[in-house]
Structure 1
Amino acid sequence: MSVEAMRRRRLEPDARREQILSVAIRLFGSKPYAQVSTTDVARDAGVARGLVNHYFGTKKDLYLEVVRVMLTVPEVALEQLPQGDLAERADSIVGWFLDVVSRHSTSWLAAIGAGGMAGDADVDEVIAEAIDIAADGILRAVGMERRPPPALRGMARAYVGLAVYTAQEWLKRGVLTRDQVHALLAVSLVTMVERVFPQA
């Protein structure tokens, strides 16, 4: 269904909230934080500005939700992983990550760069939280503990950092291909699980 058709018909609250969030993801992905207003989001979503405030609060609250959504691994991605061996699972989670960041590359790059809001305590907290969730998701994806010791979680966070910067080399700088990124991340994850994580 087109955005225009969604504008014209009455949506359930969850669907309307998702529609507004989708518009916000697109706008914050294409412009710096300072250049996007809740009025812009409301106009493009075809709703009153008050509705944006009703669902998300302030502009900053809306932006924080955009960053959270763009950087957090959803539960469904982990549930859909194959039950194969470590290499298959690593290959699958890396493939899922690359699909997401390439499909939403502009918005993802803006979110990981904090959209001009780097250094803001709330934005930094959301990014750190998303990295923690991603690290826990990586550990679950490779069959490791749900409550990892600090050293293991730190290693998993380091892998997330590798994934983020490697994806930037592909999407932002254009010096790596998707296949090169996939190979680097999948092989690194298997190696870390087999040879590095046990040290934690």
Structure 2
Amino acid sequence: MTTARTSPARVRLAPQVRREQIIGAAQRLYADRPYDQVSTAELAAAAGVARGLINHYFENKRELFLEAMRQSVLMPVAPLPDAHDRTTEERTRATVEWILDAATTYGQAWVNASGAANLHGDSDIQAIVDEADDRAARLVLDAIGLPDDAHLRARLRPMAALTKAVCREWLQRKTFTRDEAATLITSSILLFVEEHTS
């Protein structure tokens, strides 16, 4: 007796839900492989959609890649720790631990995506990474109780590159323990802002 094979029924999703499903699939693929090694057909298969639906939601493969990048580098995090009654050093350490908690959860995709500007050298990717770095600087300033000042943000933005490099050493290469990573990042932030905290 032959059993007829049936394709799984496609589920109709709200447009925003479907769009996020496609972006999530792209993030998973790009976490392991660079842009030019992932085809549109693979993206569609990973998302469980027809290839034409990728072009329905995104103008082209490049637009989907950039959106996946944007969401990866703007790493979701838990609420900032409440550290208003602590010293600047204690607030900074608590903030770094908060960043490392998020890196533990989102680390592989975040580290890979955050390094993509260097890998691809494209101005649109660099703009996304720059936006994320500026946002991170604002969050850190807020968390450690310093004003959102353009000069302070400029001092802290280079910390984003150091933080990503330290997270790569800790999460991928295993050359740092989490505590060593936290200590290095904390002491570096304090060095960058020390004239404003004394």
Q: TM > 0.5 between the two? A: yes
Q: Which moved more, 1:45-54 or 1:93-102?
A: 93-102
Q: Which moved more, 1:131-140 or 1:50-59?
A: 50-59
Cα distance in 2 for partners of 1:179, 1:197 equals: 26
Tell me which of 81, 93, 96 is aligned to 2:95: 93
How far off is 1:176 after superposition? 0.6
Q: Cα–Cα, structure 1 residues 37 and 197, in superposed 2: closer, same or farther, change >3 Å? A: farther
**Identity of counterpart residues, as a percentage?**
40
Q: Cα–Cα, structure 1 residues 43 and 90, in superposed 2: closer, same or farther, change >3 Å? A: same
Structure 1: where are the runs of 5+ without partners?
A: 1-6
Question: Residue by residue, what CA displacement relative to the aligned partner does 1:111-164 show, whole Å, maximum 9, x if unpaired?
Answer: 122178521121122112221121122112222223x13x21111112222211
For the 8 Å contact 1:32–1:115, the answer to whether it is kept is no
Q: Within 5 A, what are the aligned runs for 1:1-200?
A: 8-74=10-76, 77=78, 80-84=79-83, 85=86, 86-87=88-89, 89-114=91-116, 117-146=119-148, 148-149=149-150, 151-190=151-190, 192-193=192-193, 195-197=194-196
Name the TM-score, length of structure 2 as normaliser: 0.80
Cα distance in 1 for partners of 2:73, 2:116 equals: 11
Q: Cα–Cα, structure 1 residues 65 and 88, in superposed 2: closer, same or farther, change >3 Å? A: farther
How far off is 1:174 after superposition? 2.1
For the 8 Å contact 2:159–2:189, the answer to whether it is kept is yes
Larger Rg: 2
For the 8 Å contact 2:75–2:102, the answer to whether it is kept is no
Cα distance in 2 for partners of 1:122, 1:71 equals: 13
Structure 2: where are the runs of 5+ without partners?
A: 1-8
Which gives a bigger RCO, structure 1 or 2 (Cα 8 Å, sep 6+)?
A: 1
Indicate the SS of the match to 1:9. Answer: coil
| Aligned positions, number | 187
For the 8 Å contact 1:28–1:115, the answer to whether it is kept is no
How far off is 1:198 after superposition? 5.1
The one-letter amino acid paired with 2:156 is A
Q: Cα–Cα, structure 1 residues 197 and 177, in superposed 2: closer, same or farther, change >3 Å? A: same
For the 8 Å contact 1:33–1:116, the answer to whether it is kept is no
Cα distance in 1 for partners of 2:90, 2:80 equals: 9
Question: Residue by residue, what CA displacement relative to the aligned partner does 1:177-199 show, whole Å, maximum 9, x if unpaired?
Answer: 11211232234435544x24459
Cα distance in 2 for partners of 1:8, 1:104 equals: 29
How far off is 1:36 after superposition? 0.7
Alignment root-mean-square deviation, CA: 2.6
Cα distance in 2 for partners of 1:129, 1:165 equals: 18
Q: After the TM superposition, which parts of structure 1 deviate over 6 Å for at least 4 consecutive aligned residues?
A: none
Name the TM-score, length of structure 1 as normaliser: 0.79
